[in-house]
Each structure stands twice: as structure tokens, then as C-alpha cells.
């Protein structure tokens, strides 16, 4: 069954450009990994939630998701990229979940 990594973000307006730049870089890497099905970045235009950005990454199965986690960690370490530091520096809040996807 497909696994979907969903991140919801509260991004301050002054951090929006930097956030989008980092997000696009990470997404380009994710798309290159085996088992990647599809991904999207959503920007809220209406609604009651504080979260103004949402990203999704769909993986073929649990093994593909776990391999992606390891590949991302290795890539970040190689580049000296610390996502927790970026989130803190930009004043971003993040909520992460993993879901199983099935059609309805």
C-alpha cells in the first residue's frame, strides 16, 4: 500500500521565499529517489487553519519510504544541511504525519 508523507507548515510571510527555495530543492531530490510516486506543494488561499503550506510525498510502499528517509538523511549530512536549524531560523512550525493512501 502506498505511503504518503504529509507535512503541514506555518510559514511567516517574511520567511515564505526562503521556505519555498528550500522546499523546491528538497522536492527535486525526492523526485529522483526510487519508489517516489508523486508529490505536491500546496499553499493555502482560504480556510481556518493556521497552516499555510502543505507538502505531500507519495511512496510506492513502506520500504520505499524508509529508503527515502535514509537517502535524505545522507544527502543532508553530505551537504551540511540541517532542516531543524532552517525551521528554527525561519520561525516555521511543522506538523508531520505518514498516511496510507487508497482511492475512494
What domains lie within the chain, and their CATH numbers?
2-101 (3.30.70.100)
Torsion 88-92-95-97 (CA) sign: negative
Average pLDDT of the residues in 10-29: 96
pLDDT in tens, 50-98: 999 999 999 999 999 999 999 999 999 999 999 999 999 999 999 999 9
Q: Is 80 left (phi over 0), alpha (psi -120 to 50) or beta?
A: left
Instruction: Report the C-alpha gap between 6 and 35 in whole angstroms.
Output: 16
Whole-angstrom CA distances from 72 to 53, 82, 89 are 21, 11, 20
pLDDT band at 102 (very low <50, low <70, confident <90, very high): confident
Answer whether 0.75 is exceeded by the pTM: yes
Residue 103: is its pLDDT beyond 90?
no
Amino acid at each position: 500500500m502506498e505511503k504518503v508523507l504529509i507535512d503541514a507548515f506555518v510559514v511567516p510571510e517574511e520567511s515564505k521565499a526562503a521556505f519555498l527555495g528550500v522546499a523546491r530543492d528538497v522536492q527535486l531530490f525526492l523526485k529522483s529517489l526510487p519508489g517516489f510516486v508523486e508529490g505536491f506543494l500546496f499553499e493555502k488561499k482560504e480556510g481556518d487553519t493556521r497552516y499555510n503550506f502543505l507538502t505531500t510525498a507519495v511512496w510506492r510502499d513502506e520500504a520505499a519510504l524508509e529508503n527515502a528517509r535514509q537517502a535524505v538523511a545522507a544527502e543532508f549530512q553530505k551537504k551540511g544541511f540541517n532542516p531543524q536549524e532552517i525551521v528554527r531560523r525561519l520561525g516555521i512550525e511543522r506538523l508531520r504525519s505518514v498516511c496510507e493512501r487508497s482511492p475512494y
